[in-house]
Amino acid sequence: MEDHAGSWYEDVWRFLIGQEYPRLFNREEKLVFLKKVGPFEIRGSTLYRLGIDEVYRRCLEREEFPKVLKALHSKMGGGHFGIQTTAKKILAAGYWWPTVFRDVAAYVKACDPCQRTGRPTASTRWPLMPIVPLAPFKKWGIDFVGPIALATQWHQHYILVAIDYFTWCLVGKCAMW
């Protein structure tokens, strides 16, 4: 199993796998650490953390933060909401990391459109909750294109098109209608 070396949750992971405390921890530090580890749980090869609202959220790796911040703040459907709302959207989407509020604050403050318009959207409501694809081939969009004038010899007038939202890989197949 992976050891997630270098990850912010390396110590937590190692403890959950083998009950191994971080090196050089004294008794007091071990007790504090034990409390910290409490809400975490490994499912498959993914770490989850139980929030005070009793919801398990996937712990993201550092390199995933910008992708999620972008998707839930500034990308289409993000809405450029303020710090609290953007952070809540991330939690509502099922993601967590220890510095989520701090990172959202820094991201919103540095967001160019938010600076240009003066401030982020004040509303605490958001109309859309996009599902953020974090890996290839997890989320597909499917549609028909047609009717096409130039039908094939089998009289196929439509193309069934599937697109992967992560890689933008496009798959097409002729369909007979």
Q: Given the rule CB under 5 A, which residues bind Zn ion?
A: 74, 80, 111, 113-114
Between the CA of residue 13 and those of 2, 35, 102, what are the distances in Å?
9, 14, 23
Q: How far is the CB of 73 from Zn ion (least distance, A)?
A: 6
Chain centre to alpha carbon of residue 170: 22
Backbone dihedral angles phi then psi of residue 99, each to the nearest 5 degrees: -105, 30
Give whichever of 66 and 136 is closer to Zn ion, judged by the CB atom.
66
Alpha helix (H) residue ranges in 6-125? 10-18, 27-37, 65-69, 83-92, 100-110, 112-116
Pick from 71, 75, 74, 110: which is nearest to 94 by CA? 71
Q: How far is the CB of 62 from Zn ion (least distance, A)?
A: 21
Give whichever of 15 and 85 is closer to Zn ion, judged by the CB atom.
85
**CA pseudo-torsion sign 115, 121, 124, 127:** negative
Residue 167: CB atoms within 10 Å: 11
Give whichever of 22 and 113 is closer to Zn ion, judged by the CB atom.
113
Q: How far is the CB of 70 from Zn ion (least distance, A)?
A: 10
Give whichever of 60 and 104 is closer to Zn ion, judged by the CB atom.
104
Q: How far is the CB of 82 from Zn ion (least distance, A)?
A: 9
